[in-house]
Each structure stands twice: as C-alpha cells, then as structure tokens.
C-alpha cells in the first residue's frame, strides 16, 4: 500500500464523509454491529491463529488476555457501538450565530477534524472502538494496530469497512495499515493527515512526537502522584494507594510517586511499607524515607533526579514534603501533567492542590486510576491527552471535532467598514 496516495485520497473524500447526516452515520454503525455478529465465526477463527502464534512466542498470560477476542469481547464491542449510536450528533452544532451587520451573518459550526491516523496497541476491541468513534464523528481514519493481532485486525477491519461502505459512506472512510514501515510514511503525510493519535509505550509515542509535523494528541509519560497530606484519613489512604499502584500496574494512570507530609511520616510510612509489601510492591525513596523505613539497601535509595521515573511496575517512589505547597511544586516539576491526587480531609488544602497542580486531572480522596473515558461517562475514548491544546484528559467524541466559521453576505466589502460608511452592530441571534 502506498500510504501517501491513500492519505491524499482520504483527504479528498473527507468532506464527503463530513457532509453525511447523523442518520447515515448511525445506519452505518448499526450495519457494522450486525456484520460483526454475522461474521463472528471467521473473526474468532482469525483470533485463534493470533492466539496460537502468541503461544509459540511464549507471550505472558496478562498480554494474551488483551489479544483474545471472544464472545464476551464481541458483546462488549457491539454494546459500545449501540451506545455510540444513541449519543447526539457531534457535528453541525451551532456554537455561535451572530449578525455582524444587517444581512451579514456569522455562524460557528462544529465539523470533523478530517483525516486522523490512530496507531494502537494489540487489542482487537480497540480497533472496533476507534473506528466507530471516528465514523460517528465524521472523521476518516487510518488504523494501524499491533502486529500480535494481525489476523484478527484484518478480518475486523474488512467487516467494519465493508459494512460502512455498503451503507453509503465513502470508500476511503477507513484505511488499514499493516506494516511497520507504513508508520514512517504516515508521519510524512502532514499535508493530508490532520491529527495523529499514537497509543503504546512511552518510547514509541515520543518517537512519533519527535518525527512528524502532524499535530499529535496523546501522552508519552504518565507520572502520576498521590500526595498524602497531614490531614489525610489513613483508612482511605491505604486502599487508594494500593488500588492506584496495583489495580492495573502497567496503566498510564497508575501512581508512580507518593508524596507524604513530613508531620505524619513516622506514623504513616512503616504502615505503608507493610501494606505495600503484602501486595508485592517495593518502595524506593530519599535518604530520610529510607531511614524511617529502616531500609539501607542501595537500590531503594533515590536521587532527586530519579523522580521523573515511570515504573509501570510494582515499585513506587516516596518523598517527604513540608506542606501542600512543596507537594505542588514537586508535581509541577517532575510530573507529566496527567493525573494527580491529594488525600486530605481539609477542604482548603484540597482546594489549593486542585487549583495549583497543572495537570489534566486533579483528584481529592480517590484513586488516579479513575482517569479514563469510560469512568468519566464519555462512552469511549481514543486516548488520554497530556497536552493542553484542543482536548485534555480522556478524549471521546468531543475531542474529535473542530469548527468552521460560515459567513453569509449580500455583497459586503471591508472597505466600507474601514471608511466608516458601514459599521458592525454584533447581535447574537
């Protein structure tokens, strides 16, 4: 496949998809849901091939759980499509309607972004979710999934694409990339691809960000903090810290660094160490932390410069701070602006933290693991953004649209307004 020519064709067909009605897009989504069920035999057979290859490659049970596409995953995927159908049309929303002058009317209307490239991990359900989110929002999408589910992806893509085109969506509404070198070609398509959403390892996302002129939405690092204030309720703190670390250790919203108010360190840290060890988590920390914990191992002793570490493993960094102010400074310096939580019963301290921490998500008394489109009630997400432009945090349908200005006149020229012959009156309608 020639990625550049595919991207060019998509770009030219993107306005056609953008012009479809929500009825057409919903009809296509319904047809996709039905086609997935009708072809489930072939889909499961393809997935069986991928699972056998995974066995041959001695893939871990945890990863195999993600590669698997069975009746349960199909049911969830189809339910997700039906939920998407029930959501209101994100397109054509009138964001502004203003009369600039008599017979000169300005509209600001929501429109799709256009052509989006999504590069995602080896999870067949992600292909279904991403392609249906893009179609609902009227965006053409180039999809590149993980190679470990190549067979499953191929049949899923075929079924979804054909159902959509059968219902009248343009041929190039969805394109699949299968080869790794096609990613590099995709990165050079800055004239035709409006947005890239890479998901996967830090190193991979950083590579994408550093090697393209196309805007990138997503996150490389997920260095999330929990600050245990002197007014924290220990009974809440331990379950939250354990959940945030081990409920899904490899997730971007798992906690990496625990900041503890110095006043409670003596009482809190030994208990934290005990409870964390019970669930297999090792604590690392600064000299004073190690001293309180009675740990003189060299590998657990941390230098300041190490606090930017994302373990994605059963390890956590621990540091003492004077107060919430120092906690905020630490987070704004070493964090990745993803999600950070304060544990305190003091509303004033919490208010300061939530105002001053410069992250997409700031939490009080709950686990950082809540940072997720499904848990926010967005239905689904294409990713989580740590950037501040456009969408921030979990990105659902809202993050896949932009807007355009439409101005309807009757022959007006700017010269008449510059000379004072005409003047604007700005009335919102």
Among positions 224-263, residues that touch a copy of itself (CB under 8 A) are 233, 235-236, 239-240, 242-244, 247-248
Q: Work out the burial of residue 373: count CB atoms within 10 Å of its CB; fewer than 13 is exposed, 13-18 middle, 19 or more buried.
A: buried
| Of 197, 169, 190, 195, the residue nearest 25 (C-alpha) | 169
Least distance (Å) from a copy of itself to the CB of residue 258?
A: 15
Looking at the Cβ atoms of 7 and 328, the one nearer to a copy of itself is 328
CA distance 253 to 176: 29
The full length of the chain comes to 429
- Stretch 70-129 residues interacting with a copy of itself (CB under 8 A): 98, 100, 104, 106, 113-114
Out of 60, 408, 420, 421, the only residue in the binding site for a copy of itself (CB under 8 A) is 408
* Residue 417 contacts a copy of itself per CB under 8 A: yes
Is the CB of residue 168 less than 8 Å from the CB of residue 156?
A: no
Looking at the Cβ atoms of 81 and 242, the one nearer to a copy of itself is 242
Q: How many residues at the interface with a copy of itself, by CB under 8 A?
A: 79
Looking at the Cβ atoms of 28 and 214, the one nearer to a copy of itself is 214
DSSP 306: G
Looking at the Cβ atoms of 40 and 390, the one nearer to a copy of itself is 390
- Stretch 51-70 residues interacting with a copy of itself (CB under 8 A): none
- Contacting residues for 90 by C-beta, under 8 A, at least 6 apart: 110, 136, 137, 138, 397, 398, 400, 401
- Contacting residues for 46 by C-beta, under 8 A, at least 6 apart: 151, 152, 154, 155
CA distance 12 to 19: 13
CA distance 324 to 317: 18
CA distance 408 to 391: 30
Looking at the Cβ atoms of 201 and 247, the one nearer to a copy of itself is 247
- Stretch 354-383 residues interacting with a copy of itself (CB under 8 A): 354-367, 369-371, 375-377
Looking at the Cβ atoms of 166 and 329, the one nearer to a copy of itself is 329
Least distance (Å) from a copy of itself to the CB of residue 206?
A: 10
Out of 75, 82, 213, 274, the only residue in the binding site for a copy of itself (CB under 8 A) is 213
Out of 41, 61, 88, 411, the only residue in the binding site for a copy of itself (CB under 8 A) is 411
Q: Segment contacting a copy of itself (CB under 8 A): 75-83, 169-177, 255-263, 349-357? A: 349-357
HSE-CB at 23 with a 13 A cutoff on CA atoms is: 0
CA distance 137 to 149: 26
* Residue 203 contacts a copy of itself per CB under 8 A: no
Least distance (Å) from a copy of itself to the CB of residue 256?
A: 16
DSSP 254: S
- Stretch 3-42 residues interacting with a copy of itself (CB under 8 A): 11-12, 14-16, 18-19
Looking at the Cβ atoms of 12 and 78, the one nearer to a copy of itself is 12
Q: Segment contacting a copy of itself (CB under 8 A): 269-277, 291-299, 314-322, 325-333? A: 325-333
Total Cβ atoms within 10 A of residue 248: 15
CA distance 350 to 428: 39
Tracing tokens 């996967």 back to the chain, one arrives at 200
CA distance 314 to 281: 5
End-to-end C-alpha distance for the chain, whole angstroms: 49
CA distance 193 to 4: 10
* Residue 293 contacts a copy of itself per CB under 8 A: no
* Residue 418 contacts a copy of itself per CB under 8 A: yes
- Stretch 176-195 residues interacting with a copy of itself (CB under 8 A): 194-195
Looking at the Cβ atoms of 32 and 255, the one nearer to a copy of itself is 255
Least distance (Å) from a copy of itself to the CB of residue 284?
A: 23
Q: What is the largest CA-CA distance in the chain?
A: 82
CA distance 221 to 368: 14
Least distance (Å) from a copy of itself to the CB of residue 403?
A: 6
Out of 41, 61, 415, 420, the only residue in the binding site for a copy of itself (CB under 8 A) is 415
- Contacting residues for 415 by C-beta, under 8 A, at least 6 apart: none
Looking at the Cβ atoms of 147 and 388, the one nearer to a copy of itself is 388
Out of 217, 269, 276, 327, the only residue in the binding site for a copy of itself (CB under 8 A) is 217
For residue 315, give the H/E element and its range.
strand 315-321
Least distance (Å) from a copy of itself to the CB of residue 134?
A: 15
Q: Segment contacting a copy of itself (CB under 8 A): 35-43, 260-268, 277-285, 347-355? A: 347-355
CA distance 140 to 120: 16
């Amino acid at each position: 496949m020639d990625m550049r020519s595919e991207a060019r064709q998509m770009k030219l067909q993107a306005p056609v998809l953008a012009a479809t009605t929500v009825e057409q897009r919903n009809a296509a989504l319904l047809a996709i849901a039905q086609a997935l069920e009708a072809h489930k035999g072939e889909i499961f057979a393809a997935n069986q091939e991928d699972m056998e290859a995974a066995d041959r490659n001695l893939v871990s049970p945890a990863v195999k759980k993600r590669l698997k596409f069975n009746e349960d995953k199909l049911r969830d995927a189809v339910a997700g499509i039906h939920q998407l159908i029930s959501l209101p049309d994100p397109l054509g929303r009138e964001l502004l309607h203003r009369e600039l002058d008599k017979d000169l009317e300005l509209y600001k209307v929501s429109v799709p972004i256009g052509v989006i490239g999504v590069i995602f991990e080896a999870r067949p359900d992600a292909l279904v979710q991403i392609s249906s989110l893009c179609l609902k929002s009227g965006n053409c999408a180039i999809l590149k999934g993980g190679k470990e589910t190549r067979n499953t992806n191929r049949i899923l893509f075929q079924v979804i694409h054909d159902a959509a085109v059968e219902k009248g969506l343009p041929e190039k509404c969805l394109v699949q990339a299968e080869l790794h070198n096609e990613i590099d070609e995709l990165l050079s398509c800055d004239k035709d691809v409006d947005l890239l959403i890479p998901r996967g390892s830090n190193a991979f996302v950083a590579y994408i960000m550093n090697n393209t002129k196309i805007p990138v939405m997503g996150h490389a690092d997920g260095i999330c903090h929990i600050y245990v204030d002197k007014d924290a309720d220990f009974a809440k703190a331990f379950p939250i810290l354990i959940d945030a670390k081990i409920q899904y250790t490899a997730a971007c919203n798992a906690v990496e660094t625990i900041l503890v108010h110095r006043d409670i360190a003596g009482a809190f840290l030994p208990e934290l160490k005990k409870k964390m060890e019970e669930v297999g988590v090792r604590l690392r920390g600064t000299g004073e932390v190690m001293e309180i914990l009675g740990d003189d191992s060299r590998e657990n002793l941390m230098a300041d410069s190490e606090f930017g570490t994302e373990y994605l493993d059963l390890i956590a960094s621990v540091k003492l701070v004077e107060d919430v102010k120092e906690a905020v400074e630490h987070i704004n310096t070493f964090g990745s602006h993803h999600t950070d939580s304060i544990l305190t019963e003091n509303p004033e301290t919490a208010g300061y933290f939530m105002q001053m921490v410069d992250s997409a998500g700031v939490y009080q008394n709950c686990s950082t693991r809540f940072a997720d489109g499904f848990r926010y009630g967005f239905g689904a997400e294409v990713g989580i953004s740590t950037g501040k432009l456009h969408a921030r945090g979990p990105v659902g349908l809202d993050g896949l649209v932009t807007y355009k200005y439409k101005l309807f006149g009757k022959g007006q020229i700017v010269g008449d307004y510059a000379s004072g012959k005409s003047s604007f009156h700005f009335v919102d309608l």
